[in-house]
Structure 1
């Protein structure tokens, strides 16, 4: 008999995570300790359990703007390199403990410079933390590989600088470029010189699009920023009617197998959809879109990769085949070399799911 498709079994399954924000996944106790070390006095509470609840409730407003305001606290305590290293190390450990075998975790290094840290030092602290956490997790018997995605903030003008950092550190653990921040009013081709730099260097990129804004944002990410993956991308469903033909952008995304980094709980929190039951993830998956399941911000959403997969499976009736399919799609879409991808697929992912099916 196969293992039951519940949280305990899903936790044991080898999982791949493509969309997770470093500043959205801190442990509440770490936030408190880092705030104390840095003299940061703006936290709403000094109790870890209450703080975790506060983050989730504040993010649960149905407004992307209100959701993003919660990051003032996490970024506020990450203004020293040693704090960034700790957060990155704990991120790798926490994901490994949740059964994630490969993750790409993103951060905007420009947000870590307000306290005077040079942006290069911020990037190095992220990479050092991921390396230390991955090594510790592997030594403990839960091996994980974590790659860093560096975000430029859409509303700021440091895109070219961040693109240069991706090129500079891509042999040291940086796997790609991202644009984050407000979609509306800040198109993904606003700084064409940054996109040209990425193109010349052959840099991987995923672009936030189709979260707060719709089809035009997705088209601009593909055509203007040359996105290989879509961060969220869920508003592609605007062109996927219950019956009838797909819209032109949806048809393109389907035909070109553009990976969608879907984060269902986050989409509900920010008001994109009213509930998980109303979320189009299962409809898109059934139609053959390259759907992957992600956490976005584990602290703000109060989720793990396990809980996201378990909730989607329970609400939408997924079985082990569906869970394995979205996992293998995520691995195929990951920004890693083919040898590492093949090794993870043949030695880790498929044997892991075979064992769960065997019961």
Structure 2
């Protein structure tokens, strides 16, 4: 997987401005916990709403660009599935048969940990315009965190649409989730819901929904990301993430890396509100801990006031507007959202940060003892 390598040549800690340049590195981080399955028999197609779904092999808006780059890259990278098959992450930790539960969107024993969102915390940069969005993109700084048990930490792009009790949400980014993965490694993590996460919280391939079309195991939900950043280093690694709605089919496509390699998509049929676009885009971090358990770290585990060398970042923030144009976010149309004590988590946004990061912000924090992060 080709990640961004950012080399910082100037830094102003007081205002968190950064400069530098970006070059590619090639990373072949392939987890062995994948099955190669027939593309047209992948478990997601068992979803009742996808009974008559016809797989879209390529988005209509990139037939002459991303498709060509993706295909040539796949043929050269070790770890791909045979022609006609795609990699699906095997869940070994909780239920071997979870992927075959076609009648459920989410297993009850796992969802109850997140009942009513009581213990989630956010530090995000949100859009404020009353308009329709068709996607977003960013580069996300990569940091390993030490979490355990039911703790969860995610850095992501989040798109939303719908009334409070039935918000449709898709999130994609990098996360650490010991209960989901069985370890504390940083992994490509996606989740979605059609009911504000009240009853459904669907991770990766845990329930039918995401259609995988890329045959390369490096570009698979649940895969480990490496290398990651070190606190205090001026060399920073980041993963490029984009989610974009196809104007012809309405499906939400996922792209990863600097070359925007197409991975797959969430079909339009899954959603009753996102099917026509998103009303809100959120960039940033989210954490979860059960009651009476300490709040985990977010981002790099350091507050944004510690500057770029120590804090995590998201840069090159773009939205895809109502006309499907990809444009940098406008600071006048963005606002910070944080629901936690600023000693636990925070976010600092100063707008344009130079040609490397463009619109960017620093965010994260160490978390804290149970109850101390609530405000």
User: Shorter-chain-normalised TM-score: which range?
Assistant: under 0.3
Relative contact order, higher structure (CA 8 A, sep 6+): 2
Which structure carries more strand by proportion?
2
> What TM-score do the two structures reach when normalised by structure 1?
0.25
